[in-house]
Chain A
Amino acid sequence: MKTNTIETARGCRVRVFEAGRGAPLVFLHGAGGLLPDNPFLDRLAARYRVLAPELPGYGESSGEALLEDMLDFALHGWDVITALGLQRPHLVGHSMGGMIAAEMACLAPGSLDKLVLAAAAGLWIDEHPIPDLFAFLPFEYAQALFHDPAAGEALLTGGLDLRNPDALMEFYIAHTKRMGMASKILFPIPNRQLSKRLYRLTAPTLLLWGKSDRLVPPVYADRFKSLIPHAELQLIGEAGHMLPYEQPDAFVAAVTRFLG
């Protein structure tokens, strides 16, 4: 994928991965950011014009101090779309990106085409508390995020040799920047009252969940479904929270079928 850097009206500099032609599809990444390899985006690019912006604090995007709360994050999403000159794109959000996409869609329901929420954050059910990813030790991430943690571990680090102190420091700083940014909308409880606003959502919506999601378990998909009655729910087998990475074929097939 090619990349270019845009500047939003607020002043954030945002790196955007882009590939393909067709209807614009904006993909919003989760709290961990885009991984070194994102094969599901390449496959979606066979059919759509895929644009994957990185949030400030992630990758090479900057201006994180300009975004402090949920409203800032949601407006920033629209600022990026404006800066890219897109009209009514599809929004596909994964995890924290799903939370942001849902907020964006509630703010401006007529400004998007279709909405896909994959393992979206943003709700809280007392009986099913979401594990505290801000208190995870490094080895716990793969366990919580993947159906197959061993395979997931390799995806997370992208083959980086963390025994090298410099590589470890670099990884640690990038991780701290990402999670520090994510903490603004996910800490200590990943709930910024999205449930009060979901009634505004009019776009056709697909809820896509991994059956083995241990971070935001499928009971959250049911809660989203009850709050967005017109949404369609699809579960993917042998997939955890990182379903786009763990089952890219099934993920792309489901998204493509829904978006048309």
Chain B
Amino acid sequence: MKFTWFNLMPWPYLPDDFRERYRSVWVDIPNRLYDPEKGHFLYHRYMDLLEYADAVGFDGIGVNEHHQNGYGLMPSPNLIAAGLARRTSRAAIAVIGNSLALYNPPIRVAEEFAMLDVLSGGRLLAGFPVGTSMDTNYCYGQIPALTRDKYAEAHDLVMRAWQSEEPFAFDGKYNQLRYVNLWPRPIQKPHPPVYIPGGGSIETWDFCLDHDYNYSYLSFTGYLRGKKLLDGYWERVAKRGKDESPYRAAFAQTICVAETDREAEELYAEHVSYFYNRCLHVYLGFADAPGYRTIKTIQANVLNALSAEFQNLFSTLTWKQLVDDGYIIAGSPQTVRQRMEEMIKGLRIGHVFGLFHIGNMPDWKARHSSKLFAEQVMPHLRDLWPEWRDDDRWWCKPLPYRARPEEGLAAARQDARKPQ
């Protein structure tokens, strides 16, 4: 099993009456609610937490891209990842990821990911989400009905750019480039492992299987509901005659560990409530632009986690319901271990993207939970897939000898010394 510590980087200062006063946490949330001075300290706190996760032994540290919102403060996750590459040396850096259709030209993604891979010594996991409708259509103005076509073309361009050793011309519908010639190129060959985060579009399954990419299901309705979707994915895997390595799939899960079940509720309930009630308070008119989801997906009746039904439900959920219904995994190390095992086996996943910092949680609680998980949960879950122990197809392959920029400022500030 591989465990990646994910930070959404929410804005933790949304007012108590946010739901009543504002229609959406995304797209048109007034940016006067963002205080850049507080933001300065917040970025560093959040980056410190990611570095802490590396220090306590998580396999990966993860960031992602969202725009114009109080849910996640990383319009450019690559900037955060670059900072992490300098101050960590071990964990994979999971950028899940860059929304390909939003970059003009998308060769920018190939370049920046190659930079990150080189900078980190080959530790990059490269995610290519289509992006939420809020981000892609309403914030970045992409035409909903053409978003997937543009994404597919951008994907082809990036993958070819990463693997080509000669300049080539690219004659696309959305991108025409006379000279594609990537400097730098990524360290990992033939390319960094690719993760495709899906919210439930069934076309994405075939796309992942066509290219042997990891399918990452990101949902906030928890693993019990996620099972229906991942069962569909594994059926598709079988039908396509692909091997059933659990590392083909990842799942994002909110996790809260404390000394006891009761302490978990006392410490974390208010922050989980903040997340579900304020960070997911998305205006329904922004949740799903017409044409963004395909008709096939709509007909498959895949649940939209931002539907009115779920948003109303979120506001009424008690801690007990959140835990019992599997929205979150919370409790003592023993409880969490048991629920995690149930989730991992039930969904057949080799990667967990764990959300440990939640809503407006103070740092110490995120550290407390993360440390307990790393020390008392993770070791027991490592070997749940013994028959796939050596399957590293979806993990990074760093250089064995790497620079150690994290080892201090002293070396960086030394005066010139002629090599002996």
Contacts and interface: CB of A to CB of B under 8 A. Distances in A.
Interface of A: 64, 68, 132, 134-137, 140, 172-173, 175-184, 187-189
A176 B137 contact: no
A179 B290 CA distance: 6
Interface centre among B137, B286, B291 (most CB of A within 10 A): B291
A198 B141 CA distance: 25
A183 B285 contact: no
Interface of B: 137-138, 141, 143-146, 283-286, 289-293, 295, 298-299
Of A136, A175, A179, the most chain B CB neighbours within 10 A belong to: A179
Given A135-B138, A188-B138, A183 B289 contact: yes
A132 to B, nearest CB: 8
Contact of A184 (B145, B289, B295): B145
A256 B209 CA distance: 59
Interface of B is mostly: helix
How would you classify the secondary structure of chain A's contact residues: helix, strand, loop or mixed? helix
B104 to A, nearest CB: 15
Given A135-B283, A176-B290, A187 B144 contact: yes
Given A172-B298, A176-B291, A181 B145 contact: yes
6 contacts: A68-B146, A173-B299, A180-B291, A183-B289, A187-B143, A188-B137
A179 B291 contact: yes
Contacts of A135: 138, 283, 285-286, 289
B335 to A, nearest CB: 38
A177 B137 CA distance: 16
A179 to B, nearest CB: 3
A144 to B, nearest CB: 12
Contact of B141 (A68, A172, A173, A188): A188
Contact of B144 (A137, A178, A183): A183
Nearest to A140: B285
Contacts of B283: 135
B287 to A, nearest CB: 10
Nearest to A175: B290
Q: Closest 4 A-B residue pairs measured CB to CB?
A: A180-B291, A179-B290, A135-B285, A180-B145
B299 A187 contact: no
Contacts of A134: 137, 144, 285, 289-290
Contacts of B299: 173
Contacts of B141: 187-189
A86 B42 CA distance: 66
Nearest to A174: B295
A183 B143 contact: yes
